[in-house]
Amino acid sequence: MSRIGRAPIPVTAPVKVKQEGATIHVEGPKGKLSHTLPAELGATLAEGRLTVSRASDEPRVRALHGLHRALLANMVQGVQTEFSKELEIVGIGYRAQVQGKTLTLTVGYSHPVMLPIPSGLTVELPKPTVVIVKGIDKHAVGQFAANIREVAPPEPYKGKGIKYADEVIRRKAGKAATGAGAKAGA
């Protein structure tokens, strides 16, 4: 069996899990989520543990086993504590603003870039150059953070752009670093 797939998911007191056929509903202090399992998989809830099982050992079904167990574990964790992604905006004059349900990014283009904030997510700006995306759905948080980063990905020469807080940008030396001395020896 899959190592990830066979691991039970602990369900603690504030979280409620309900199963209706192949659909699993998870409710917690932060909100509600639901997920439908494929026909090849089943789930059982017993003694505060949610366990995912599979019908066969085909490679496709084995892959689905680990995937859907991880998705259910993320749902249980998300309704207890929200997921968050932090992004940093680097560059002179680069900044972000939240206006209602729209994130406005000023990142060196001739116009500000406006991104609608998806429902279920919140965006916080502790500083104009730091964006924190929060929500109970791990996939939605990661996707919106990736969409923000895609507006102006960090470039390797000056480091300008939007990057994840824990991301390390490998810097490159520009033309000036190669110098004229290299040509003199040729």
Q: Can 3-80 and 83-164 be said to share one CATH topology?
A: yes
Q: Which residue has the tokens 């929500």?
A: 135
**How does pLDDT run across 138-182, given as a tens digit for each residue?**
999 999 999 999 999 999 999 899 999 999 989 998 887 666 555
**Is the domain covering 3-80 a CATH 3.30.930.10 domain?**
no
Question: Of 180, 86, 97, which Cα lies nearest the Cα of 141?
Answer: 86
pLDDT of residue 13: 86
CA atoms of 108 and 145, how far apart (whole Å)? 19
How do the domains of the chain map onto residue ranges?
3-80, 83-164
The SS3 call for residue 148 is helix
Which band of pLDDT confidence, cut at 50, 70 and 90, is reported for residue 106?
Answer: very high
What pLDDT band is residue 5 in, cutting at 50, 70 and 90? confident
Does residue 149 contact residue 165 with C-beta atoms inside 8 Å?
Answer: no
Position of tokens 């020896």? Answer: 185
Q: CATH topology for 83-164? A: Outer Surface Protein A; domain 3 (3.90.930)
Parallel, antiparallel or unpaired: strands 16-20 and 83-90: unpaired
H/E segment holding residue 73:
helix 59-80
DSSP state of 119: T
Q: Dig out the tokens for 42 from the structure.
A: 């089943």
Element (H, E) at 31: strand 31-36
